[in-house]
Amino acid sequence: MKKRTLLSMAMVATMMATTFAGCGGSREGTTDTATTDDQTATEQTTDGAATTADMPGFEEGATIGVSLPWLGTQNWKEAEEMFTAQLTDAGYNPIVQAADQKVTQQQQQIESMIENGAKVIVVGPVDGSQLGSVLEQAKEAGVYVIGYDRLLENTSGVDGVVQFGSVKTGELQAQALLQGLEEQKGEAPYNIELFGGGPADPNAPNFFKGAMSVLQPKIDDGTLVVVSGQTDFTQCATQDWDNAKAQQRMDSLLAGNYSDKDIDGVLCPNDGIARACITACENAGQDIPVVSGLDAENESVEWVWQGRQYSTVAKPTEDLVAETIEIIDSLQAGNGMPSTDVTTNNGVIDVPIYELPPVVVTKDNAKEVFANDPSRMELLK
Ligand code: BGC
C-alpha cells in the first residue's frame, strides 16, 4: 500500500530544522558559538519547487532507479537495503545499484536506468561534478532526478537533494573534539591532527569547512596545535574515503612528528577513518586520542560505548530514505517537488535542498539518541 501523506512527520521535522537553520538558532548538540550551515549563505526563500503542471505524475508500479556511489560504509549498505525493500513495499519497481567508487560505472548505470524507463533516478554521486551530461540526458527523457546524501554539482539535471546538513556535521564533529579534549586531556594546549574525506565527494570539503569554522579560532589562540602543520583540506583529504589510506597517513604523521610528543586528538570525518586513526595511534604506543566520527556505524557505536572513540554523528539512513520516498510519492501523484526554503547553488542552478539535522553522539547521550533504534541500543551493553 502506497502512502501519500505529503506532510509526513519527517517532512515537518525537516521544515522545522530548515527554519531553525535559517534563524541561526541553536539545536540540541550545538553550541552558541556554532555558525549556521553555510547553506544559509546561499539560502533564499524560493518558489523553487516546480509547479504541478511542469511535473506530470507517472504510473503506479513505475521503475525507480537508485544509483549509490559504493557500499564501503554502513550508511550506503543500509541505503541499498532500505531502498530495495521500501520502494518494493510502496509498489514501485526498484533498480538499486552501487558504482564501486567509479565515475564511468556510475554514468553507465544511470544511462541504463534511463533506457529501462525509470521515472525517477535517485543519485548519491561518486564525484559530485562528473554526472552533468548523463543527468541532463535523464531530464531530457523526462526523468526526475533526486540527489541523495551528496550534492549534484555543475548540472541543471537535478530537481532536488535530500541530505543531512554537511557543514553542520563538521561543526558538530569539531565541537565534540574540543569537548572531549577538555574532558579527557587536561589543560590546553592540545596536540591534534586533521583528516578530511574523499575530495570528489561534495560533502567532504563541507564537513571540513564546518569543522574548521570551530577549530581555526582555537588554533589561532594556541589552544590547539596541529603539530604536522597540515591544515588545508587538500593536505588532509583521504582519497576515496579509503580507511587504509587514512591509516597510512596517520602512521607517517605519528612517525614524523610524535616520537617525543603525545597526540591528544584527531578530527576524523567518518567512523571508518576514526577507527583507522585510533588503530594507528594504538600501534604507535600512544594513549588513545579524542577522535570524532560520523555515521554511527555499529562498530563505532560499540567503540564510543567502550570509551575507545569519543564521538560519532548520527545521520539515520532510514530518515533520509523515508524523505526520498516521500518525494517520489509526491512526484508519482503529480504533485511535483514539495516546497522547501533552502536552496544551494550547484554552480549552474539553485537546487532545492531537503535537509535533515545530524545529531552528535557521545557515551553520555548515546542511549537517548538511539532510544528508537533497537539494533543500536543492543550495542550499548
Ligand atoms: C556520507 C558519509 C559517508 C561517506 C563515505 C559521505 O558522503 O555522507 O555518511 O561516511 O560519504 O562513504
Q: 58 pLDDT exceeds 90?
A: yes
Sign of the C-alpha dihedral, residues 238, 240, 243, 249?
negative
Ligand 1: which of 74, 80, 149 to mutate, most ligand atoms within 8 Å of CB?
Answer: 149
pLDDT of residue 54: 84
Atom of ligand 1 nearest to the CA of 270: 10
Question: Three cell numbers at 254?
Answer: 605519528
Atom of ligand 1 nearest to the CA of 203: 7
Banded model confidence at residue 51, pLDDT cuts 50, 70, 90 = low
Closest-lying ligand 1 atom to the alpha carbon of residue 269: 10
Q: Of ligand 1's atoms, which has the minimum distance to the CA of residue 72?
A: 12
Using one digit for the tens of pLDDT, what is the confidence trace for 320-358?
Answer: 999 999 999 999 999 999 999 999 999 999 999 999 999
Strand-pair category, 350-356 with 343-345: antiparallel
Say whether pLDDT at 26 is over 50: no
Of the pLDDT bands very low, low, confident and very high (cuts 50, 70, 90), residue 88 is: very high
Helices 243-257 and 271-283: crossing angle, nearest 10°? 40
- Mean pLDDT, residues 89-116: 98
Nearest partner of 295 among 79, 100, 103, judged by Cα: 79
Transcribe 137-196 into DSSP letters: HHHHTT-EEEEESS---S-S--SEEEEE-HHHHHHHHHHHHHHHHHHHS-SSPEEEEE--
- 61: CA distance to ligand 1 center in Å? 30
Q: Is the pLDDT of residue 180 over 60?
A: yes
Beta bridge partners of 144: 120
pLDDT, tens digit (0-9, with 9 covering 90-100), for 210-239: 999 999 999 999 999 999 999 999 999 999
Residue 52: per-residue pLDDT: 64
**Closest protein CA for atom 8 of ligand 1:** 149
Q: Does residue 9 surpass a pLDDT of 90?
A: no
Helical (H) or strand (E) element with 106:
helix 103-115
Nearest C-alpha neighbor of 126 from the set 96, 104, 94, 95: 104
CA of 334 to the centre of ligand 1 (A): 32
- The set of protein residues with a Cβ atom below 6 angstroms from ligand 1 is 72-73, 75-76, 149-150, 197, 201, 203, 241, 270, 294-295
CA–centroid distance, 180 to ligand 1, in Å, is 23
Domains and CATH numbers, the chain: 9-165+316-357 (3.40.50.2300), 167-314 (3.40.50.2300)
